[in-house]
Amino acid sequence: MQNKGAILTFAILLAAVCLYQLSFTFKAKQIEKDAVEYAQGDAVREFNYLDSISGEVVYNFLGLKKFTYKEVKELEINLGLDLKGGMNVTLEVAVDDLIRALSNYNNDPTFNSALLRAKEMQRGSQEDFVTLFGQAFQEIDPNARLASIFLTLELRDKININTTNAEVLNVIRKETDAAIDNAFNIIRTRIDRFGVAQPNIQQLQTKGRILVELPGVKDQNRVRNLLQGTAMLEFWETYENQEVYPYLLQANERLKEMQSANAATTETAAPETETQDAEATTEKDTTEESSLLSELEAGSDSTGTGLDNLENFRKEFPLFAVLNPSTDQQGQLFPGPVVGVAQSRDTSKVNEFLNREQIKSIFPRDMMFRWTANSVDKAGNFYRLIALKANTRDGRAPLDGDVITDARQDFDQLGSNPEVSMTMNSEGSKTWQRLTKENIGKSIAIVLDGYVRSFPTVQNEISGGRSSITGLESIEEAKDLANILKSGKMPAPARIIQEEIVGPSLGKEAINSGMYSFLIAFALVLIYMLFFYSKNAGLSANVALIANMFFIIGILASLGATLTLPGIAGIVLTIGMSVDANVLIYERVQEELRAGKGLKLAVSDGYKNAYSAIIDGQVTTLLTGIVLYAFGSGPIKGFATTLIIGIATSLFSAIFITRLIFEWKLKHSKNILFSSKLTEGWLRHTSIKFLEKRKIAYIISGTLIVLSIGSLAIRGLNYGIDFRGGRTYVVRLDKDVEVGDVQQALEAPFGSAPEVKTFGDNNQVRITTTYKIEDDSENVDNEVEALLMQGLKDANLLDKDVSLEEFTSDYQLSSQKVGPTISDDIRKDSVIAISFALIIIFLYILVRFTNWQFGLGAIAALAHDSLIVLGIFSLLYNVLPFSLEIDQAFIAAILTVLGYSINDTVVVFDRIREYLKLYPKRKREQNVDEAINGTLRRTFSTSLSTFVVLLAIFLFGGATIQGFTFALLVGVVVGTYSSIFVATPIAYEFQKNLTKKIAKK
């Protein structure tokens, strides 16, 4: 074996990287366990504990680098919502509203008809909305001109009366793209301040769609309101730090007096509950020691207070213990509107102090405080507090985003520092001129959604409505601010078009069932390898399998990938499929030993001769994984990720790690057995005439295909909401219920009876409805949930005293919403994915075998497998006691079946090709039969191990993925059958016909 040292070094380095990456997960779990013990079941106390140490160092890796708890959480392995619970939301920015706003809400009938027509066309097209609007406008009136509609005051610099429709559409596209980018930034900022651990916010390929994943979120209504609310952009005058500081001193003194009074009352009365609260506060305070407070201690010494410990400082300066005044080390106040800096964990405490009535009365009535959106430091630990001046009659901002007509990122006169140039309309220009005239040398704060995005200093009076904002730190900051200002004038609500919610209890059950099935499947494979290939070769394969699992989890953590329940299924499936490489190698080695070669040479030649089949089989499966990753989303992408990583690590483990073990044993003259006494002769000397029986197989396959087509035509398929749109709720009630009772209870509130199925236990039901799925108003999701709860209450299926909040958190285990637009896209993507997978598999086989007949046989087998799996799902839905819906997970299962089936087929084809070269004078029929017989042991071992693994997931993996694994189980059986009785005979038939034609010529 060449490069043995390099391979061993790589394996050690890979293991070290995986161990390093997984150490963060172990550390995070350890800290969270401590938090649970500290909280004693109090969720708020547990959250406060973890929040208090977010910025503190909790992990020192080998003394080389220190990590805070927040950094440890960011580096731990991510769990998907189906394992952890939380919300997965796909938002779509309302581009039609943006276009209406750009036209100043023009009432032109052609314009408004085109917008409605574009919304209809959007369901059946992959084009962006602006393009569809242009097409619709052209269809309705080919002679109409967009310039007359969009020739507004705001767009006068970009559009004139002679501007063509195509040019107007380009302007609209640029404006809407900027608004979409801004909507993304706004949502990202809102989520960052929402306090969710490991959120995932990303723009999707379809323009205007934004994916938001929020693990662990429980308050669904708050999240919906947060995500769908229109951005509010405001301009405020500010107070100077020097003006505010005296008030802060008074506030601190009053807080000190209030705390002293409370302490005296506690000492006198000392009721049990107050004592417990005091103890909890003391414990929390102890954990809140920070570098900021250390700096405050140092600063306090210079002012002569002489404080020598943190506890005294808290008593003396309760406000300044959580809000660091904006001063230098000598106590001199900084100019500007920043009045203090606080750690992120202390901002809520500062707000609580400043909002107390006794404290609010100290400050002027027109003074209010807002935090900056961006942190002072890159780690996001410290934020600045800005003092705003609300001196208008109605208390509102003197200017809002409606007055902005244009904004862009630019550079100063020297061309070195980024700035933002903005333009206002006439009304805004007048107000802006007055504001800038009255605030020369002071700051004006730009506030978005209640957070200060920027507070530039006014240099001079600005007339004409054109001005520049300078002092920005980077081009990215300037671009973001320009987008915020630019789209501030346009309403850009983001509507929820797809939503999935998994409750924490269901997520915990999914983790338990997923891990349970994983351990059972893993143990079964390890036992099988030891039984079939003896303790020598079997143990080496098991070492490679264990290493493979370790590498998969480590790489997932290193890449920041998310582990989902289908992802666990992908890992477990990888276990079964990774056995295939070991089986191919071991069977080849045994063939070399039977040919009379010595052990060392047999091992070398066995590995060498197995490479072709291993690589061909794994690459075809890899291709289906790549297609899944490209066209899938959410859990399906997680499944594809683990499948792709698993294939790569399986190849490395099976080929190199086992080889290193064998090389070590051979070097030390140890004997290696590649089969046990019980299995040595199993399927070894078979001589089945497969091709003679191909007509029987044609009849069996033909019958199954006819039954499948008949069922598909008569019964059809049970489409999930992924493909037809709708809402699904999984509800766990206090007692067992009948499906009919639930349907009857919900028929009145929903207008028609929803689809109801038992989900797992008899007290759990899955409710599917299309009620108001076309309605995209802001509160419709909350309304449907309220109707669901009320319907169950009226039928006495739910306690009358349960509130909506309790229902969504305790009874509603999960929910999913798919709008009609996105369901159309999912259907199209699924068709594309399957078609693309078939094409690339055909091309790969064509290139590898340089024989189109092999490719045709393989594709025929894949079509055969897909049709039969679809037929079984059509025949058995509503018959079997678990869901057989056609959804995204089913498409993933079909593609995986295709990958598995082609993997099996390629191994047979590879052996046929080998025999045709070795024995060219034999009859083709004999070579084909012997090739199938020669791979029968391998087919049996791989299929059985994969089937057993999937069976473990099916039985113990929980109701969530039973339909998914059932499709895989059926696919393994059908795929194994088709590789022998469909793909090979069809390839043989076409090769035989071609040979006859050549002979005739």
Tell me the percentage of the chain whose pLDDT exceeds 90: 13
Q: What is the pLDDT of residue 590?
A: 87
- Say whether pLDDT at 426 is over 60: yes
Mean pLDDT throughout 824-833?
A: 73
Mean pLDDT throughout 241-264?
A: 87
Q: What is the pLDDT of residue 485?
A: 74
Question: Which residue bears the tokens 């550079």?
Answer: 411
Q: What is the pLDDT of residue 362?
A: 92
CA geometry: angle at 969 spanning 968 and 972, to 5°? 80
Top pLDDT among 813 and 527 is at 527
d(CA 269, CA 433): 60
The three state secondary structure string of 171-224 is: HHHHHHHHHHHHHHHHHHHHHHHHCCCCCEEEECCCCCEEEEEEECCCCHHHHH
- Say whether pLDDT at 252 is over 60: yes
pLDDT in tens, 538-547: 898 899 889 9
Q: What is the pLDDT of residue 292?
A: 40
Query: Quick one: 664 and 529 in the same domain?
Result: yes
Q: Please, which pLDDT band fits residue 279 given cuts at 50, 70 and 90?
A: very low
Query: Quick one: 510 and 547 in the same domain?
Result: yes
Given 818, 851, 881, the domain boundary residue is: 818
Tell me the percentage of the chain whose pLDDT exceeds 70: 86
Q: Mean pLDDT lowest for which of 69-78, 449-458, 610-619, 988-997?
A: 988-997
Mean pLDDT throughout 193-209?
A: 69
d(CA 415, CA 418): 8
Query: Quick one: 579 and 668 in the same domain?
Result: yes
- Say whether pLDDT at 341 is over 90: yes
Query: Quick one: 299 and 324 in the same domain?
Result: yes
Nearest to 96 by CA among 116, 126, 110: 116
- The continuous run of DSSP H or E covering 420 comes out as strand 418-424
Q: Residues for the chain: how many in total?
A: 1001
Domain that holds residue 278: 239-366
Q: What is the pLDDT of residue 873?
A: 92
- Say whether pLDDT at 550 is over 80: yes
Mean pLDDT throughout 74-94?
A: 77
Determine, yes or no, domain membership for 479: no
Query: Quick one: 220 and 355 in the same domain?
Result: no
Mean pLDDT throughout 456-474?
A: 81
Determine, yes or no, domain membership for 83: no
Given 770, 801, 818, the domain boundary residue is: 818
Chain Cα centroid distance, residue 454: 31
Those residues whose C-beta lies under 8 Å from the C-beta of residue 978, and which sit 6 or more positions away, are 701, 861, 862, 864, 865, 901, 905
Mean pLDDT throughout 39-53?
A: 76
**Token pair for residue 124?**
């059946």
Q: What is the pLDDT of residue 697?
A: 92
Query: Quick one: 734 and 694 in the same domain?
Result: no
Q: Mean pLDDT lowest for which of 43-57, 501-515, 593-607, 951-965?
A: 501-515
Mean pLDDT throughout 468-476?
A: 76
Residue 114, CB half-sphere, CA atoms under 13 Å: how many? 26
Determine, yes or no, domain membership for 497: no
Q: What is the pLDDT of residue 718?
A: 85
- Say whether pLDDT at 255 is over 80: yes
Highest mean pLDDT among 61-75, 81-95, 640-654, 972-986 belongs to 972-986
Determine, yes or no, domain membership for 179: yes
Highest mean pLDDT among 127-131, 156-160, 407-411, 430-434 belongs to 430-434
Q: Please, are residues 963 and 766 in contact by the beta-carbon 8 Å criterion? A: no
Determine, yes or no, domain membership for 482: no
Determine, yes or no, domain membership for 916: yes
Q: What is the pLDDT of residue 965?
A: 85
Reduced to 3 states (helix: H, G, I; strand: E, B; else coil), residue 468 is: strand
Q: What is the pLDDT of residue 663?
A: 87
Q: Mean pLDDT lowest for which of 596-600, 627-631, 975-979?
A: 627-631
Mean pLDDT throughout 593-604?
A: 88
Query: Quick one: 152 and 277 in the same domain?
Result: no
pLDDT in tens, 158-169: 888 888 999 999
- Say whether pLDDT at 617 is over 70: yes
Top pLDDT among 582 and 215 is at 582
Mean pLDDT throughout 467-495?
A: 72
Q: What is the pLDDT of residue 709?
A: 94
Given 787, 818, 849, the domain boundary residue is: 818
Chain Cα centroid distance, residue 619: 26
Q: Mean pLDDT lowest for which of 448-457, 494-503, 658-667, 725-734?
A: 494-503
Q: What is the pLDDT of residue 246?
A: 93
Mean pLDDT throughout 790-794?
A: 87
**Token pair for residue 303?**
């002012």
Q: What is the pLDDT of residue 389?
A: 92
Q: Please, which pLDDT band fits residue 303 given cuts at 50, 70 and 90?
A: very low
- Say whether pLDDT at 276 is over 70: no
Query: Quick one: 699 and 746 in the same domain?
Result: no
Per the structure, how many domains does the chain have?
Answer: 5
Those residues whose C-beta lies under 8 Å from the C-beta of residue 394, and which sit 6 or more positions away, are none
Mean pLDDT throughout 702-706?
A: 94
Chain Cα centroid distance, residue 25: 18
Determine, yes or no, domain membership for 22: yes
Query: Quick one: 263 and 343 in the same domain?
Result: yes
Q: Please, which pLDDT band fits residue 339 given cuts at 50, 70 and 90?
A: very high
Query: Quick one: 853 and 916 in the same domain?
Result: yes
Query: Quick one: 832 and 929 in the same domain?
Result: yes
Determine, yes or no, domain membership for 324: yes
Average pLDDT, the chain: 81
pLDDT in tens, 646-685: 888 988 888 888 888 888 888 888 888 888 788 887 877 7
Q: What is the pLDDT of residue 742?
A: 86
pLDDT in tens, 128-180: 888 899 999 999 998 889 988 988 877 877 888 888 999 999 998 888 888 88
Mean pLDDT throughout 932-945?
A: 85
How many helices and strands, by DSSP H and E, does the chain display?
35, 23
Reduced to 3 states (helix: H, G, I; strand: E, B; else coil), residue 885 is: coil
- First and final CA of the chain: distance in angstroms? 50
Q: What share of the chain is helix, strand, coil (3-state, %, to 5)?
A: 60, 15, 25
d(CA 915, CA 924): 9
- Say whether pLDDT at 441 is over 50: yes
Q: What is the pLDDT of residue 288?
A: 35
Query: Quick one: 670 and 733 in the same domain?
Result: no
Residue 998, CB half-sphere, CA atoms under 13 Å: how many? 6
Alpha helices, H only, 877-983 = 888-918, 924-934, 936-956, 962-978
- Say whether pLDDT at 289 is over 70: no
Question: Which residue bears the tokens 């998907």?
Answer: 80
- Are β-strands 562-563 and 78-79 bridged in parallel, bridged antiparallel, or unpaired? parallel
